Amino acid sequence: MLYLLFEWLHKNYDFPGLRLFQYLTFRSSLSIILSLIITTVYGRRIIDYLHSKQVGETVRNLGLEGQMQKQGTPTMGGIMIIMGILIPTLLFANITNIYVILMIVTTLWMGAIGFLDDYIKVFRKNKEGLAGKFKVVGQVGLAIIVGCTMYFHPSIVVRQTVDDSVKVDTAKMQNAAPMVLRQKGETYYYTQDVKSTKTNIPFYKNNEFDYAKVVKFLGEGYEKYAFAVFLLFVIIIVTAVSNGANLTDGIDGLATGTSAVIGVTMAIFAYVSGNTIMADYLNIMYIPNSGELIIFAAAFIGACIGFLWYNSYPAQIFMGDTGSLTIGGIIAVFLIMTRKELLIPIICGVFLVEVLSVSLQVTYFKYTKKRFGEGRRIFLMSPLHHHYQKKGYHEAKIVTRFWIVGILLAVIAFVTLKLR
C-alpha cells in the first residue's frame, strides 16, 4: 500500500527520497526490519494475551526428557508469524502483482486451516483437532487455486529464446506476445514471454523440464494434458510440504529455524529468477514480475527469526498448526511460482527426512505386526527428532544440528543452478 502511495507521489509531485521505493533491496530491508519488530516487540504482548486467555498446549506424555515442563506453554503463536509476514508485505510490496496476491492468499488460506485446527484443540478440548481429511481438502483447494492461476493468468509467463523460424509463425498469432531482439556479447537473439508448464530441474543438461512430457507416451497432441499433469504435481507438492513442516514442528525452534534458512534460499531464488542479468548468467528461466516476491520472502525470514526469539529452547510459545501449516504452504507455493519446486527434496530436506521417518516407521510396524504378530520399529520414536531425544541428545543440540544440515542443503541447492 505504501509502495503504491509513494509511487503516485513520486510520479505526480516528485518528493525527494521517494525514488528509493523503486528499489527491491530498499523495500526488502524495510520489510525484514518491520517483520522483526512486529514479532519481537509486539510478540511479547501476544504471548501475554494468550497466557491470560489460557491458550496453553496440552502435552501428551511420550516419555521424553523435559517434555511435561512444556505443559501450559501458549500455542497458536503462528498468529505472530502471519502478522509478521502480511503487514510488511501489504505495506512495501506491489499488491497488484499477481505473485504477491497469490502469496497473500496462501498465507491467509493455510493460516485459517491451522487456526481452526488449533481452536478445536485448545477451546473445544479435542486433542485430535481438525480431522485430517478436512486439512487435506483445504490443502488441495489451495493447490487448485494456485495451479489454475499459474496456468491461465496472462501475467504469469516465462521468457524464452525463440528461433527466427518460430518468430515468423508466432508473430502472426493474434494473442502472441511481441518478440524482443536482445544481444549477448556479439550474438543477437529473439525472446518472447510465453505461457509455459516448464520448470527448472537440477542435474539436467538444459536445466528445464516440461510437465507435458510426462504424458508424451500418449502420442500426438499430448500437450493438451499438460494442465492436468501440472495441477497434479502442484497438489502433491503443496500437501507434502505443508504436512512436512507440521511434522517438523515437534521440538523448540526446529521448524522455525529450518524455515528461516529455507526463506533465505527462497529470497535468493526469487532474485535470480526475477533479474534478467542473473537469470541469463545462470542460464535459468527469467520470470517477469516475480522480483516482487523478494519483499514477501524478506518478511517471511524476519517473521521466522523474530518468532525464534521466543520459540528457541526453552520455548515461551509454540507456533501450533496455525504456524506450521502456513509455513509449509508458503514454502511450497513460493517455490512452485519461482519454478524451483523440483529442488524441494533438497531445499526442504529436513522436512522430507521427518516425513520419511514417520512413513517408514508406520509401514514397517504394520508389516512386522502382520507377519510376526508383533510390531517392530526402525526408530526409537518418530518423527526423527524424537528418535534422537530418546537416544539422550539434548533438545538444543538436535535443533542446532538440524539447522546445520538445512544450511548445507541450501548451499547444495544453490550449486545446482550451475550444474548441468
Q: Is residue 219 one of the residues assigned to a domain?
A: no
265-281 pLDDT, tens digit per residue, is 999 999 999 988 888 88
At residue 65, the pLDDT reads: 62
Q: Is residue 362 one of the residues assigned to a domain?
A: yes
Q: Is residue 183 one of the residues assigned to a domain?
A: no
pLDDT at residue 164 greater than cutoff 60: no
pLDDT at residue 182 greater than cutoff 80: no
Q: Is residue 186 one of the residues assigned to a domain?
A: no
At residue 323, the pLDDT reads: 93
Global pTM value: 0.91
Q: Is residue 247 one of the residues assigned to a domain?
A: yes
Cα 35 to Cα 307, 327, 395, distances in angstroms: 10, 15, 27
pLDDT at residue 204 greater than cutoff 50: yes
At residue 173, the pLDDT reads: 47
Q: Is residue 395 one of the residues assigned to a domain?
A: yes
358-412 pLDDT, tens digit per residue, is 999 999 999 999 998 888 999 999 899 989 988 989 999 999 999 999 999 999 9
Q: Is residue 196 one of the residues assigned to a domain?
A: no
Using only C-alpha atoms, the chain has a radius of gyration, in whole angstroms, of 23
> How far is the C-alpha of 43 from the C-alpha of 412, rounded, in Å?
34
27 in Cβ contact with 3 (< 8 Å): yes
pLDDT at residue 168 greater than cutoff 60: no
420 in Cβ contact with 205 (< 8 Å): yes
Q: Which domain holds residue 100?
A: 2-156+226-415
214-264 pLDDT, tens digit per residue, is 888 888 888 888 899 999 999 999 999 999 999 999 898 999 999 999 999
At residue 185, the pLDDT reads: 66
Average pLDDT along the chain: 86
Task: Tell me how many domains the chain contains.
Answer: 1
Q: Is residue 187 one of the residues assigned to a domain?
A: no
313-354 pLDDT, tens digit per residue, is 888 899 989 999 999 999 999 999 999 999 999 999 999 999
> Coil, helix or strand for 183?
strand
At residue 179, the pLDDT reads: 72
